């Protein structure tokens, strides 16, 4: 069997009880942390907490060369670990389908996602979110200004009155420094402010940690602030129900007059 386990958002304790039991009972454990990471725990922390050995695979080891993972799952109980919820990335869906092609039984043990945490922390209703988008580092997409994938998503959601989650880029093992790089919310807001200077955004920082932060302001204002350690994301509110507006004012310090309230 191949079991996909979401580790949750922050550290070795963020995993569900079901996921913890499946991990501890597995014959072999693999993980990837290039789509997202646990900022509150190292691989050593995970191994120590759950008394397992974990083999971390890079992108090529998951997407191009997964055969040894699949071969192990043909005769052993294998788990594949990711931060957040395990099926958010198409990479993991592809691996699951490859397992099915080999006749390997699979199951999914879910974890908390950044998007559901953002809804919970901001008070914005989950069903009022539209399509999400990812804001890449400028050097990663090579275009002038914001990529159309970002502006088109924000504009379409706003036209429909929907909220937008803007995920901020993560680069694992930067090609020049070999260090992980995380876009912070002030950098993301500065990039967005070039197109949307007066648009209200909400920063969600360190969701799932003991000290999450939620802060609202215009993109120009957020670009001038610091929000501490990553991971960060931005939410662009659409039309707000009065209760959502109350939540943004009370929980994020939003200016009620700057919100679109229906």
The tens digit of pLDDT for each residue in 78-120 reads: 999 999 999 888 889 999 999 999 999 999 999 999 999 999 9
**Residues recorded for the chain:** 262
This prediction has a pTM of: 0.90
- Model confidence at 70, pLDDT cuts 50, 70, 90, reads very high
Give the span between the Cα atoms of 165 and 223, in whole angstroms: 17
pLDDT value at position 104? Answer: 98
Q: Give Dmax over CA atoms of the chain in angstroms.
A: 61
First to last CA, the chain: 49
User: Is residue 209's pLDDT more than 90?
Assistant: yes
Closest CA to 223 of 253, 182, 191: 191
């Amino acid at each position: 069997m191949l079991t996909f386990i979401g580790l949750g958002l922050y550290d070795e304790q963020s995993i569900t009880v079901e996921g913890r039991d499946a991990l501890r009972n597995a014959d072999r454990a693999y993980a990837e942390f290039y789509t997202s990471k646990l900022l509150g725990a190292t691989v050593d922390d995970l191994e120590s907490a759950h008394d397992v050995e974990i083999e971390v695979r890079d992108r090529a080891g998951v997407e191009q060369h997964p055969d040894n993972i699949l071969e192990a799952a043909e005769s052993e109980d294998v788990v594949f670990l990711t931060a957040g919820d395990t099926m958010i990335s198409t990479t993991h869906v592809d691996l699951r389908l490859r397992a099915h092609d080999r006749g390997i039984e699979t199951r999914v043990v879910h974890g908390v996602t950044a998007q559901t945490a953002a809804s919970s922390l901001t008070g914005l209703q989950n069903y009022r979110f539209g399509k999400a988008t990812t804001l890449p580092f400028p050097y990663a997409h090579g275009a002038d200004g914001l990529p159309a994938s970002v502006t088109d998503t924000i504009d379409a959601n706003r036209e429909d009155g929907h909220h937008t989650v803007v995920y901020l880029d993560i680069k694992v093992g930067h090609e020049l420094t070999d260090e992980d790089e995380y876009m912070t919310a002030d950098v993301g807001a500065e990039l967005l402010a070039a197109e949307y200077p007066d648009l209200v955004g909400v920063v969600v920082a360190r969701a799932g940690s003991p000290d999450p932060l939620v802060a609202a302001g215009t993109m120009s204002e957020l670009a001038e602030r610091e929000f501490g350690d990553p991971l960060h994301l931005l939410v662009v509110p659409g039309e707000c129900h009065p209760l959502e507006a109350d939540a943004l004012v009370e929980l994020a310090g939003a200016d009620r007059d700057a919100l679109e309230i229906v």
